[in-house]
Every structure is written in C-alpha cells, then in structure tokens.
Structure 1
C-alpha cells in the first residue's frame, strides 16, 4: 500500500516541478522584455522631450492691436502737493486711460484723506473706475532708489487692476501737459506700440565718480521719517556684467518693457535694481540701464523724454521753475509735457486757456464729452465715445516732434549708444 502511494506521488510530483520551472522561466523572460522595452521607451522620451522651466513660459508680450492706444499714468507728489495733483489729474484725464495717484507718507493724513475722497467721490472717476489712489503709500526720498520702487509699485498696480493699456508715463505734481489727451492718443495711434521714449546715454562722464562709485543709503528703505540720503565712506567699482546708462527720470515706457521689469524672467532687472539701491539719483539710471542691456528691448528706444525742461547749465541737474517767460519756448518745443512748475503758477492758467481749452477746475475738452446729446445721460455718452478723438493744434505740434525723432538720420545710432 505504501508502494502504491509512493508511485502516485511520483506521477504528479515531476510534472509539478516542471511546471514551476517553466512558469518561472516565462515570468523571467517577460520581465526582461518589459524592462528592456520600458528602458528603450524612457530613453526615447528623455531624448526627445525638452525640459520645461518657468523662464521658458515667459516672453515679451504682444502689443495691443487696438487702433487707438491707452496710456497708464502715474502722478506722484509729496507734502503740500495734494491740490496740484488734483489739477494735473484733471488736465490729463481721458476715460480711455488709466491713472494711479500717489501722495507719499511725508504728506499729512488729512491731506492724503482729502485726495482719497476726491478720487473716490468725483463722479467720472467713480463711474468709470479708471483712477485709483495708491492706498499703501511709500516714503519717497528725492534722489534715492525709493523713487524707482515707487514707480515699479504703481506700474504693478496698473498691470493688475488697470486692464489693457499700451504705454506707462510717470509724472509728478510739478508736471503739466501742453497738449490734450485727444492730441496724445491721436498722435500715438500711428506709431509702433513697442517703442520706449527714454532719454539715455552711456557717456556717464563725471557721474561715474560722483554717482556710480560712491555708495549711498536711502532712509526711505527702512524709516517712516523722510531725510536726505547719506553716504558710505567706501567706494565700489563700476559693474562689468552690464553697461551703465543714465538720462532723464521722466519717460514713456511700453507695456512689454514694464512687464519685463516686473517679471524679470532673465533676472537682469533684479540684479540692476539691487545695484541701483545704493546709487545716487537712481531714477536717472535704473530703467535706462535695464533697457539698454536687454536684448529684447535695446532697439526699441527713442532718445527723448517728451518733456520741456529748462535746466541749469552746467551741469543740468536742477530744473528752473517755469513761468510765463518760458511759455513760447514750451510751445515751440512741441513736447507734450513740461516741468517744473510751482504751485499755483500763473502760467498754468495760460496753458489751460490757450493750449488745453480747460476751464478752472474742469476737464480738458475732447470728443468724449464736447458734443453731449441732451437726450443722453452724460456717463453713457462718455462710454459710447471713448474711442472717438478730436485732435487739435497740439496734435500737429506733437506729430512734428515724433516724426522728427523717428525719421532722424541718427535715430538708430542714438539707441543705447
């Protein structure tokens, strides 16, 4: 009986062993083939797939296709400039544009509150929503880098809240327009929207030893009380990674370039900003150095700041206050803006009357409200006519300036030279 059992075990044992061995062999072969196929597939994917980085998804934005441009303005002031800001804002207002108003922390709380209430309660501003006050004000030091950071702050607000616009212009309470906004929008409708109007030069001359090499500290970076910059005893060398440029602190920048300064996808704007944090009069160099060292933008510059300024001579560091004696020279300059004006300067009334057609405390007339239909509500008429323009003599003057700049024989040689 035991023998029979042994014989039965032998009958099924050997096939079982053979089956286990054969199955193991098949599993091994299958795993090897799969592993080899996966390895080949992975190598093929790695070979053909381009790695993705954040920088590769960031690029220069396309310009707007709208025939009539939109302009984003920063109008900034300090203690005692509240009324001047209101006047300049109304002289610059157009429903198609966007505006940021900044009154720095040196101004009293009452003065800042008064300006905020003006922006909030002015019927046109509240209806169209294109004027905003920078609620979280900055302390801005004259000649210090806080002027640059304030400009970048306002530009960021306008990018975030201002919708589509084509150019960014920085002005102060002591600036004033010499043409209407209909004149501006009409003239700039015919030029490429990627151009940047920024006066600049690489010939920094005496500024190398008096501004580039010294190191200054701007108290506005850490203090709530305004005071002048102070100097560090040590000197520094001129940068070799990029070339320094200098020029006017007042400019008209394209939206793509403003986005580049804020996004800084190749890090140049941040590197240059850190250097200019200790540079005297950094607003006269930061944007100029960035644009002329950026491959995408160096050929988009127009070497003009769109201002009439009466400088001391030499060394062109302190502008004279403009009066009625300067009126004809302002007009003959064909510039759309002038500075520097004192508060309540009488020549401003002359500009309002003869160049802008503006009544006291009123807006500058334009197609957007010059022909109001009595059967139509005022705000609805404005919204309907937001793209209609009525250019005047100022448009002809500004056109002469722009055409002269763009058609000059040395136009390209003046770009970042």
Structure 2
C-alpha cells in the first residue's frame, strides 16, 4: 500500500480524532482559536498593535508554568526560557530566591521579543507562599499558577508544567504544528489506579505541611494515626508532569461539579498530592475521563529496580532522547553537556539565543541571530524532528493504546 504524504496523514489523524466521542460538552475550538495569548494586563493599544492580520486557521497556544525548586535556579530557568520561548505561547515563571527573581525580571525586560509580545510573566515577590516538596502546598502552587494563566492570558489551549530540571527536545514550531492536528480537549496525564505501595506510604498517613504555618520550607510531618481508604471515589496516581487542556483546568478551578473541591480537601492529607490530584479528578469525572492519554510526553531514564526516581540524563542518553518523540526531557542537571547537544542537534539554538522558528526572519549567515527580526508569531516552520512527535502520538492513539489505557 502506498504511504500517504505526511500532511495527509496528519489531516486524517485529525479527522479520526474529531470523530471520537470524547466529550458530552460543547467543543470550544472556535473560541480558543480566535483568542489572543497576550497578557490581559497590556493596554488595548498594545494588544491591537500585536495582533495584525491572521489566517483563518491558527495553531493552538501553550501555557507554560516554570518552577524553580530553590535558590540558584535562576540561570537554569533563563536557559530553559531561551530554549522554550515562542511569541505564540504564554509563560509564567516562579522562583524561590529574590535574587533569582530580580535577575529573571531583568532578563525579560532586556530581551526585545518578550518585551514586545508581553507573554512572559515572572511571579512577584511574595505572590507565592512557601512550598514544601511532597506537601499540599506544592499542589496549591500549581493550581495557583493555572489560575494566574487563566486570568492574565487569553486563548491558550494546553497547560504544561515544567521545572528547572526539564528541557525541550524539539523546537516549539514542531510541537505547535503537530498539536494543531489533535482535539484541544485531550489531556496527557500518566495515571493508574494500581497504587501498590503508595497506599500505605502516601494515602493512609495523616500529614501536616509546615509551609501552611511557617514561611521557611521544611519536610512534611507525619502522625502515628492512619486513615482508611475512601469509598466515594477511586484514587489514581501517576507522574506530576502533565499537559492539561484549558477546559479541564477550568473545570478543576471553576467547575460546576463539586468533585474537584472534594478531592482537593482529601489530598491535603496525601504525600506528593501533585502525583494524584489531577489524576483522580479526571478519572472520577464522567465529563473528562474519556479525554485522557496515558502519557506525560516526557523522556525519563529510570534508576535500577525498583525504578522509583529518574536519573540525571547524560550524553549517553542523547540518542534515546532524540528518537523518543517526546517533546520534553526530565531530569537534566545544571551545566549538563547533554543540554549542549540538544541545543545544537535538536533545537538549532546558539548559546544565549532563542530557539529559532517561523517567527524569526533574520539571517543566520555569519553567525547572526535570526531572531533579531520578527515575523508573524503564528507562522510555523517545523523541522523534520516533528515527525517523531507525530509518530509518538499516532502510537498513543492506536485502538490498543488509547481506550484500554484510560483510567484503568
């Protein structure tokens, strides 16, 4: 059988997906596609100046929240921002140290592209409270970030949470191009109801998060008492890294159903609730349980059994990363030589420059920065590497992988 051209395969993928009975809710594609991912705090004159003429069909927009784990993450996040930046997307950055925050604010003000498009927001000092790793304050920070993105930026379709140890494996043009062919109500979230040892180490203990009481971060405190497992809903757990639809986040934060609020109260007494809250909400909701794809779109290399923690990626993992089709990698240590290989071979990015894309109209001849001259932000110029993400999504959406792995 003759193989269809790539563009035709993508069109057929979109047609087949749109034919799936994903939701009983109205699909808001038109409203999402028509909105602008500029900060709503910008003046009407500024927003009008950024719009320009548009084609009838626009790619989706991605809303990123980038979190620093502690002081000293500023340089890593600055590099991550350069690798991730695209004027079509939205970015919310949160760091712990005041020095890192001031440095990132100066970086955003000093770069012409983020200054012109107004799509990078650095959280102000004191805007976030203390966050305890593995505690409910970590989940609260993620929900807060989603609420800020919903309030301050318009028109984005997917929410993606990244840390300073994450890094993209392909240009944003590749991701936006392939995501243009899938329904915007899909949620990429790794999940399972087979919680195993996590029942006794995460669900049953009664915990106290000290960050709710004191400003400095400390470890979660456990009590001797244990609690029983719930019978009103089924617990699901998985990766804390997610790619969630705007519709599902609005349901989780503003929803007409009481389920998200009920589960939020339950997960205040749960070790690492970020690895269970969204998973349990989406799989216990009749509206959204059929929108899940059981994958977080991250490449990770695990430790030897019991495969509990991802190892730091090195140059030895490069071929596996490049061929995985995953758009992001976790976890990458600071000043990792593997990042330099990703920049050169996968992103086409020079040091201290943005990843080039269709929005960059300058010439790279003689080592010049092509992103010194801006074109239309919605114009995409995907690379050959986008076919790897296409292949991954087609595999995830095969009948043997899609429905059977939803909320099981």
Same fold by TM-score greater than 0.5 = yes
The separation in 2 between residues aligned to 1:162 and 1:380, in whole angstroms, is 25
Q: Could you say which residue in structure 2 is the equivalent of 1:50?
A: none
Larger Rg: 1
Matched, 1:317 2:308: yes
> Separation in 2 of the partners of 1:264 and 1:408?
30
1:28 aligns to what? none
Q: 1:101 aligns with which of 93, 104, 110?
A: 93
1:73 to 47, 58, 64: 64
1:317 is displaced (CA, Å) by: 2.5
- Are the counterparts in 1 of residues 360 and 372 from structure 2 also a CA contact under 8 Å? no
1:165-180 superposed matches below 5 A? 165-180=156-171
1:310-330 per-position Cα deviation (integer Å, ceiling 9, x unaligned): 122333332101111111111
Alpha-carbon offset, residue 100 of structure 1? 0.2
8 Å CA contact 1:298–1:416 kept in 2: the answer is: yes
Residues 271-330 of structure 1, C-alpha deviations (whole Å, 9 max, x = no match): 111111111111110100000011110000000000011122333332101111111111
- Residue 370 of structure 1, CA deviation: 4.1
Aligned equivalents of 1:397, 1:161: Cα separation in 2: 33
Matched with 1:243 is 234
Matched, 1:115 2:104: yes
C-alpha distance in 1 between matches for 2:150 and 2:363: 32
Equivalent position to 1:85, from 62, 77, 85 = 77
8 A Cα contact 1:201 1:245, kept in partner: yes
Q: Cα offset for 1:116?
A: 2.1
Which stretch of the first structure deviates more once superposed, 119-128 or 175-184?
A: 119-128
> How far did residue 405 of structure 1 move?
0.4
SS of 1:393 mapped into structure 2: coil
Over 3 Å counting, the alpha-carbon distance change for 1:267 and 1:143 in structure 2 is same
Is the 8 Å Cα contact of residues 325 and 388 (structure 2) preserved in structure 1? Answer: yes
What aligned pairs does 1:278-357 form with structure 2 within 5 A after superposition? 278-357=269-348
Corresponding residue SS for 1:150: helix
- Inter-partner Cα distance in structure 1 for 2:344 and 2:71: 28
The structure 1 residue matched to 2:223, chosen from 228, 232, 238, is 232
Alignment partner, residue 214 of structure 1: 205
In 2, Cα distance between equivalents of 1:259 and 1:247: 21
Query: 8 Å contact 1:75–1:171 — kept in the other structure?
Result: yes
Match of 1:188 in 2: 179
How many pairs are equivalent?
Answer: 351
**Within 2, Cα distance between the matches of 1:370 and 1:147?**
40
Determine whether 1:62 maps to 2:28: yes
* Superposition TM-score, scaled by structure 2 size: 0.83
Are the aligned partners of 1:334 and 1:401 in contact in 2 as well (CA < 8 Å)?
Answer: yes
- CA distance in structure 2 between the partners assigned to 1:296 and 1:337 by the alignment: 28
Q: State whether structure 2 residue 114 is matched by structure 1 residue 125.
A: yes
For 2:247, what is the secondary structure of its paired residue? helix
1:396 aligns with 2:387: yes
Partner of 1:211: helix, strand, or coil? Answer: helix
Deviation at 1:61, TM superposition (A): 6.8
Q: Is the 8 A contact 1:103 1:112 kept in 2?
A: yes
TM-aligned CA distance change 1:69 to 1:175, over 3 Å: same
Contact 1:61/1:256, CA 8 A, preserved across alignment = no
Local SS of the residue matching 1:132: strand
Kept in 1, the 8 Å contact 2:205–2:225? The answer is yes
Cα shift at 1:91: 0.5
What CA distance in whole angstroms lies between the structure 2 residues aligned with 1:326 and 1:152? 33
The equivalent residue for 2:195 is 204
CA contact (8 A) 2:58 2:378 kept: no
User: What's the CA shift string for 1:208-257, capped at 9, x where partnerless?
Assistant: 11111111222222221111111111100111111100000001000000
CA distance in 1, matches of 2:307, 2:241: 14
Normalising to structure 1: TM-score of the pair? Answer: 0.81
Deviation string 1:95-143 (CA, Å, 9 cap, x unpaired) is 0000000003xx2x22222122222332211111000011113322221
Distance in 1 of aligned mates of 2:279 and 2:252 = 11
Q: From the superposition, tell whether residues 259 and 144 of structure 1 become closer, same or farther in structure 2 (CA, over 3 Å).
A: same
Gaps of 5+ in 2: 1-24, 34-56, 365-369
> Is contact 1:127–1:379 with CA below 8 Å preserved after alignment?
no
Q: Secondary structure at the match of 2:385?
A: helix
